[in-house]
Structure 1
Amino acid sequence: MSDSPAPANAGAAVIIVAAGRGRRAGGELPKQWRDLGGRKVLARTLDAFAGLGPICLVLHPDEIGRYPEIEAAADLVVPGGAERALSVRAGLEALADRPPARVLIHDAARPLVPRGVIEAVITALDHNLAAAPGLAVTDALWRVADGAVVDAPSREGLARAQTPQGFDFAAILAAHRAHDGPPAADDVAVARAAGLAVAVVAGHENNVKITGPEDFSRAERILGCDMDVRTGNGFDVHAFEPGESLWLCGVEIAHDRGLKGHSDADVGMHALTDAIYGAMAHGDIGQHFPPSDPQWKGARSEVFLSHAADLARVEGFAITHCDVTLICERPKIGPHAEKMRAELARIMQIEPGRVSVKATTSERLGFPGREEGIAAIATATLVKA
């Protein structure tokens, strides 16, 4: 057994334990093979450890080869045992021919472990033979018998155990080989039975272990899978008319003609306004500001866009991104694009970095190509958490 910690910056192998049946989580498949936000739980777990060192994946013997695209993320795939400790032992023995200085052992059922937690465990191994993440117990504790509280033990000094649990490789391999007691709850228990001191680093609430059906819902909330994401598009066209300037995306541009419309005919802002309304399934500008109503004659289109953005906020949506494409031969949009972005962002009360304005021609085809008018296409993305 090693009697000193691995040197700083020594490599760390990773053992992902995924051989269990996980039936308490419900569903027809073991939990590690179920979908979580459109990806397999195990695929997300493997991603969390990418680039840290060689990965040894421990699977149930019947499932090896079932998902080769997921297994490809591991360097070794070995069959596990009937108990967790036996699966860990199988992974350790598979690494023993070319032993790493240290090893991280992680449950596949914790797919959302933050990288910071992993790195904290690795750093703790610079000065310790064993380290693991834990969270302080903050709720009161009860001991219950026959449906009644019989004691309220102190929570002082208690922590909720998490993984990955990290170890000097030789030390934890020797501990597993020597362990002959009752099944251990985790590898920290095996280490302590062998006399190893285990340092504790800060865990994270997002490092949830998927055990029951409700844990999938919690993990999806952490991933943001319960967000309401909407996308709307808008299209508008305005013809040229005699004039000396025109409005595009909130910016007045000198031109030899103006744009014809009931309002200021800002074709770009109209398309964007319709995109926001569309994302919320709230119709279009014409329904909110009828052209038959004389009060909107010559109105600045800022009124329309501001209304759409305010309505989105009232309904709990954030405008996370919008993109406007102006289709015309002239005027040239490039010199004005940044000012347009800033003006649209001001009106919608969002960051300019969330606004795109660009232009294209129609290669002299159609009414824009004949310079009869300007068209605009816009897309808006709204998110309600």
Structure 2
Amino acid sequence: MRPKSIAVIIVAAGKGERAGTNGDRVPKQYRPVGGEPVLSRTIRAFLAVDAISHVVTVIHPDHAQLYDGLALADARLLPPVSGAQSRQGSVLAGLKALAPLRPALVLIQDAARPFVSPALIHTVIAALAQHEGALPTLPVTDTIKRSLGDGLVAATEDRRQLFAAQTPQGFRFGQIFSAHMRAETIRRDFTDDAEIAEWAGLSVAMVEGERDNIKITHPEDFSRAERILMANHGTETRIGTGYDVHPFAPGDAVWLCGVKIPHKAKLQGHSDADVALHALTDAILGAIGEGDIGTHFPPSDMQWKGAASGVFLRHAGELVKQRGGRIVNLDVTIVAEAPRIAAHVPAMCAAIAETLGISAARVAVKATTNEKLGFIGREEGIVSMASASVELPRID
């Protein structure tokens, strides 16, 4: 372990009920923004900073399957821990999970703030060289009124002394852990970790926060988040194409778009020879400038012999996510005299969509014959062509 390791706790144990569930009962931290779950964006924001040594996510006990579905892979990402009914209790669970690692510093982040920038993370870390705690803030610009609960104005606050707190909030690990342990037995109504630090007598410095570092709380915040992505995290559309051909060999079925179709022959190839998924994988890889399927899964490598081609397609989809992109639409054309494809198209679209974690409405599969011409017309093989439209962060 590095002598001055920096750990991160991402608090994701809430049910996100104020943000609604978009009709699918998915908590806000697992709902997509720009095609990627909010929590996934938040975690990746910290993994993108080399100074971070460990990240632990505190999740609701009922959300383990949702969390596993994020499929994030990084040696610094620790297994998730179960949170408590309160935010305070959930943070303490994260601190206890990190305690054996003895990090020097810890940053505590709301899962629902997916747009935290590397610059802000570094600013909070830098402030801890001189202070026991640090949190990003923004000055309050609205006039703030105080009421005693009767609907009448009792006073007007001096907004020059008021600031809105954001996360990540950073602390020296031992001090905030000790403060949380004390608070657990004395007081359990703290609203953030800076308040616990203040209560424990620690000095907490304010650093300048970011306007885009919003916390997704209400349903309308998802629309605002999408606007932020478009305006400040601009995207560009990339198009990729793919082409593949496989000859027939003795057999009794062919794999096309992840669906097994009975036939008088099979397709010959190193893997399962799914010519359509091979073309589609190449199209996605082409859209993001990642070579072709042979670059990532060379036929000389025996571990891919007989492999399901969905593995290749899923890998291409993961590369899109790692670049912060999303798949807009996919179009596959299969050229074959036989077998007949039309009846299998819905299952094919569904299989592709499930493999990539996208809506089946973004997938089109078409089939045509070659009018008895050439090797396809002689039923010696099948050709497939594909195109992929992908949105990626804009490169200036």
Q: TM-score range by the shorter chain?
A: 0.5 to 0.7
Cα deviation for residue 225 of structure 1 reads: 7.7
The answer to whether the aligner puts 1:115 opposite 2:118 as a matched pair is yes
Which consecutive aligned stretches of 4+ in structure 1 deviate over 3 angstroms post-superposition? 144-148, 225-232
Aligned to 2:207: 201
Aligned to 2:92: 89
Q: Deviations over 1:220-253 (max 9, x none)?
A: 1100189898899xxxxxxxxxxxxxxxxxxxxx
Specify which of 24, 39, 46 is matched with residue 49 of structure 1.
46
Cα 1:111–1:231, aligned 2, differ >3 Å: closer, same or farther? Answer: closer
Specify which of 131, 136, 149 is matched with residue 133 of structure 1.
136
Aligned to 1:16: 10
In 1: Cα distance, 2:235 partner to 2:203 partner: 47
Tell me if the contact between 1:57 and 1:71 (Cα under 8 Å) persists in the aligned partners. Answer: no
Tell me if the contact between 2:13 and 2:90 (Cα under 8 Å) persists in the aligned partners. Answer: yes
The letter for the 1-side match of 2:14 is G
The letter for the 2-side match of 1:83 is S
Aligned residues: 227
Runs of 5+ consecutive residues of structure 2 not aligned to the other structure: 240-390
Cα deviation for residue 57 of structure 1 reads: 0.8
In 2: Cα distance, 1:119 partner to 1:99 partner: 20
Cα deviation for residue 157 of structure 1 reads: 1.8
Indicate the percent of aligned positions where both proteins have the same amino acid.
Answer: 46
Specify which of 28, 32, 35 is matched with residue 31 of structure 1.
28
CA RMSD, 1 decimal? 2.6
In 2: Cα distance, 1:69 partner to 1:128 partner: 38
Cα 1:14–1:99, aligned 2, differ >3 Å: closer, same or farther? Answer: same
Cα deviation for residue 139 of structure 1 reads: 1.6
Q: Deviations over 1:160-205 (max 9, x none)?
A: 0000000000000000000021410100111111111101111001
Runs of 5+ consecutive residues of structure 1 not aligned to the other structure: 1-6, 233-380
Q: TM-score, normalised by structure 2?
A: 0.54
The letter for the 1-side match of 2:131 is N
Aligned to 1:166: 170
For residues 166-315 of structure 1, what are the structure 2 equivalents within 5 Å? 166-179=170-183, 180-224=186-230
Tell me if the contact between 2:136 and 2:165 (Cα under 8 Å) persists in the aligned partners. Answer: yes
Secondary structure at the aligned position of 1:211 is classed as coil
Cα 1:78–1:218, aligned 2, differ >3 Å: closer, same or farther? Answer: same
Tell me if the contact between 1:65 and 1:71 (Cα under 8 Å) persists in the aligned partners. Answer: no
Tell me if the contact between 2:88 and 2:188 (Cα under 8 Å) persists in the aligned partners. Answer: no
Q: Deviations over 1:257-297 (max 9, x none)?
A: xxxxxxxxxxxxxxxxxxxxxxxxxxxxxxxxxxxxxxxxx
Tell me if the contact between 2:132 and 2:171 (Cα under 8 Å) persists in the aligned partners. Answer: yes
Q: TM-score, normalised by structure 1?
A: 0.55
